[in-house]
Amino acid sequence: MTVEPVAEPLVGFRRWGCRRGALYSGIFVAGRFVPNPALAMIAPRVKPVPWPTDQDRVAKCFALRGHDAPQRDCNCGFSAYYELPAEPDLPAPDAIWGAIAAWGLIIECERGFRAQYARPIALLDRHNPDDHGERGRRAANAAEAYDIPLLEHAELVAYAGWHGELRAA
Ligand SMILES: [Zn+2]
């Protein structure tokens, strides 16, 4: 694991919880999406904030003794996998996959990284048989809101490679 500022953005792939055109960080538990559980622990009344549509997102740490994110011995920062799985799992109806460009401070791990700055660059067009919300347009609504393309698997990987360094190979 190394920590180093990078010149060229790294690109990676990740899941979000997606609601009404907004992408949220969070976890998936027993078929449900839980937005930002770390924030919910320290501030249960604070509404989760989606990734902004019009600017880069800056990582925050929600650990008790906050620090600049990301840090090596924490799990803060925007996480992504180097590789888009062949069959990306959709553990909840509102789960969607996409690619991010990330830069600033980067913590590299075995299968992915955590980054200081990130923005979504494209979303995966993948049918989710469990999703009956938003008239089947959940991912399309988000792609519109963030003004990014909705792409098939191979297209998404290629498109991501145009936006930064792809370490999947
Ligand atoms: Zn942290």
Distance 117 CA to ligand 1 centre (A): 14
Distance of CA 131 from the midpoint of ligand 1 (Å): 33
Range 154-158, long-range pairs (CB < 8 A, 24+ positions)? 156/13, 156/84, 156/98, 156/99, 156/122, 156/123, 156/124, 156/125, 157/84, 157/99
CA of 25 to the centre of ligand 1 (A): 15
Query: In three state form, how does the secondary structure of 39-64 look?
Result: HHHHCCCCCCCCCCCCCCEECCCCCC
| pLDDT tens digit sequence for 2-34 | 666 656 899 999 999 999 999 999 999 999 999
**Distance from residue 64's CA to the centre of ligand 1 (Å):** 9
How far is the centre of ligand 1, averaged over its atoms, from the C-alpha of 128 (Å)? 32
Rounded to the nearest whole angstrom, what is the distance from the C-alpha of residue 162 to the centroid of ligand 1?
30
Q: Is the pLDDT of residue 169 over 60?
A: no
In angstroms, the CA 107 to CA 78 distance is 10
Report the predicted TM-score, pTM, of the whole model to 2 decimal places.
0.89
State yes or no: cis peptide before 44, omega within 30 of 0: no
The per-residue DSSP string of 107-125 comes to EE-SSEEEEEEEEEEEEE-
Lowest mean pLDDT among 9-18, 20-29, 52-61, 101-110: 52-61
- Cα 62 to averaged position of ligand 1 atoms, centre (Å): 6
The amino acid at residue 41 is M
Given a contact cutoff of 8 angstroms between Cβ atoms, the answer to whether 121 and 99 are in contact is yes
Q: What is the mean pLDDT of the chain?
A: 90
pLDDT of residue 148: 98
pLDDT at 38: 74
Confidence at residue 3, expressed as pLDDT on a 0 to 100 scale: 64
Token couple for 47: 């509404």
Distance 159 CA to ligand 1 centre (A): 30
Q: How confident is the model at residue 60 (pLDDT cuts 50, 70, 90)?
A: confident
Q: Distance of alpha carbon 67 from its chain centroid, rounded?
A: 21
Distance in Å, CA 77 to ligand 1 centroid? 7
CB of 36 within 8 A of CB of 57?
no
pLDDT value of position 2: 60
Q: Which two tokens stand for residue 65?
A: 């003794």
Pairing of strands 22-24, 3-19: antiparallel
Domain residue ranges in the chain: 2-161
Q: What percent of the chain has pLDDT over 90?
A: 67
Averaged over 139-168, what is the pLDDT? Answer: 95
